[in-house]
Structure 1
Amino acid sequence: MSFTIYTATGCTRCKIIKQLMDERGIVFEEQDMKAEGKEAFQKFYAANRKAIFRGPEGVEFPLLTDGTAIRQGIGASIAYLLSGNKLDGFFSAGTLHKEWVDGIHVSGGDPVYAADFMAVLRYLKGNHMKLQIDTNGLNSQILQQILDEQLAEVVIMNVLAPRELYRYMVGSNMDIVEVEKTMTLVTQFPEYKFQTLVAPVLRSEGEIGYLTAKEVGETAKFIAEVTGSMKNPYLIKRFNPKECKDERFKTVKPMAAEDLLPYRTAARNHQVFVEVEKA
């Protein structure tokens, strides 16, 4: 199997991926989109636009393909080179730049492959990258390993809901004790933040509605009870129907920035440092 890697001149992340392929004896062809590979990249992008993430600052490089699969960004590319598709869910294209790597989702992958996941993080750290990871409370044993090895500089925990709704929001038969353990671990990292997305909920009567301000207040209380602190950094985020993969929620009316103000008021009863996502 041979690979094509689409790079950008001066891209440190691209150099790390090429170094890994050289170390492993993996055959690859490089197309530098700022040099002789510009036309090849434009054709590739046009043919695979839906599979390639393009943020406010443009396309995140490198882009790696074996002719079938496409992986974007340093984390997802290393994961695919080392473990194939076993780590899908743990990595996605990131938005941070320079020495920072994000798009690392502790709760998104199968914990059976924890050893493979940790190997990718170690490789990133061994190449002087700083890691920002996120979690929703699942796979707490992996987060414990990351903490023990000091592999992440920043951790963001997506606290989905108050205790009584958490299992419903995760969509699996999870143990709330694992979520509580994750909260405690998160506060031990050099930098951390809790956040809650005001997401739509399918209620028991079949109606769809957003989490209420009261429920977000109860979520903030949940964090305070577990961490023993009302001084955790806490962000309340707006739901974007356009980014939702669940077809049931794509037609939900978007919230305006000012709609989050009652949520902030409710959350500040239990967390002092509450901010709302800006428009």
Structure 2
Amino acid sequence: MSYTIYTATGCTRCKIVKQFMKENSLDYVEHDMKAEGKEAFQKFYTANRKAIFRGQDGVEFPILTDGSSIRQGIGASIAFLHSGKNLDGFFSVGALHKDWVDGIQVSTGNSEYAAEFLEVLHYLKGNNMKLQIETNGLNSQILQQVLEAGLADVMIMNVLGPRELYSRILGFDVDIADVEKTLAMVIRFPEYRFQTTVVPVIRQELNPPKISYLTTKEIAETAKFIKEITSSIKNPYLIKIWNPKETSDKRLKTIDPMAPTELLSYRNLVRAHQVFAEIEKA
């Protein structure tokens, strides 16, 4: 199989992905979008605009394609080269730059491919990249291996809500013991942060069912959950605002966005359990 890689002059991440392909005898064609490949990239970008993420700082490189699938960023590209689509749940496009790699999620990958996931992390670390990894509490057994191998420089746990709402927020039954194991483990990483997004929840117990945001009391219960498992009220904790554009649930897209100032009332209650709680800046 032959690959096409779109790069940018001076891009260290691009060099690492090309190095991986050379080490594994993978054929590829390169187009440098800042040099001779500018026209080729513009044509590719125009044809695949919906599949390519463009952030505030522009398009993240490298972009890799085998002619049918597209992967963007160093983590997602190496994971695809290493294991095809098997690791898609673990890697996505990141937002960090220089020697940092993010877009790595422990909880949403298939645990059957944990060994391959760890191999990719080892490769990234072996090339002097720093890794920011996220979890929502699931796949604690994989997180344990990440911790023991020293593969994460920063660990972010998205604590979705209080115990009793975890399954409802995720949309499937959750073993809360798995989440508790992760909570206890996160504080052992070199740098970590807990965070909770104030998401809308479908209240099935009401007649008729209604959709409403997590309440201030429920977010406070989430902070209390963290306190109980970590035995600390001094964890870094961020309260985030929900973005309707990030959901695929059509029912939730009808909810009006919350004003950033509304998060202040959440923070006030949360600080009874996590004194360093802050709200996301608009």
Letter in 2 for 1:219: T
Correspondence for 2:211 among 205, 208, 215: 208
SS at match of 1:50: helix
**2: distance between equivalents of 1:7 and 1:211?**
42
Report matched runs for 1:169-184 at 5 Å: 169-184=169-184
Partner of residue 35, structure 1: 35
Partner of residue 112, structure 1: 112
Partner of residue 251, structure 1: 254
SS at match of 1:185: helix
Q: 2:4 matched to 1:12?
A: no
**2: distance between equivalents of 1:258 and 1:3?**
47
Partner of residue 217, structure 1: 220
Report matched runs for 1:1-279 at 5 Å: 1-204=1-204, 205=206, 206-279=209-282
SS at match of 1:6: strand
**1: distance between equivalents of 2:186 and 2:267?**
22
SS at match of 2:256: coil
Q: 1:159 Cα deviation (Å)?
A: 0.2
Q: 1:251 Cα deviation (Å)?
A: 2.0
Q: 1:246 Cα deviation (Å)?
A: 1.7
Q: 1:208 Cα deviation (Å)?
A: 0.8
After superposition, the C-alpha distances for 1:27-82 in whole angstroms (9 at most, x for unaligned) are 10000000000111111111111111111000110000000000000000000000
**2: distance between equivalents of 1:183 and 1:243?**
25
Q: 1:108 Cα deviation (Å)?
A: 1.0
Q: 1:248 Cα deviation (Å)?
A: 1.5
SS at match of 2:168: helix
Letter in 2 for 1:106: V
**1: distance between equivalents of 2:96 and 2:59?**
12
**2: distance between equivalents of 1:38 and 1:62?**
14
SS at match of 2:254: coil
**2: distance between equivalents of 1:124 and 1:111?**
20
* % identical equivalent positions: 68
Letter in 2 for 1:98: K
After superposition, the C-alpha distances for 1:194-223 in whole angstroms (9 at most, x for unaligned) are 000000101113211110111000000000
After superposition, the C-alpha distances for 1:96-147 in whole angstroms (9 at most, x for unaligned) are 0000000000001110110010000000001000000000000001110010
Q: 1:170 Cα deviation (Å)?
A: 2.0
TM-score (norm 1): 0.99
Q: 1:259 Cα deviation (Å)?
A: 0.7
Q: 1:171 Cα deviation (Å)?
A: 2.1
Q: 1:252 Cα deviation (Å)?
A: 1.1
Letter in 2 for 1:275: E
Give ranges in structure 2 of 5+ residues lacking alignment.
none
Q: 1:266 Cα deviation (Å)?
A: 1.2
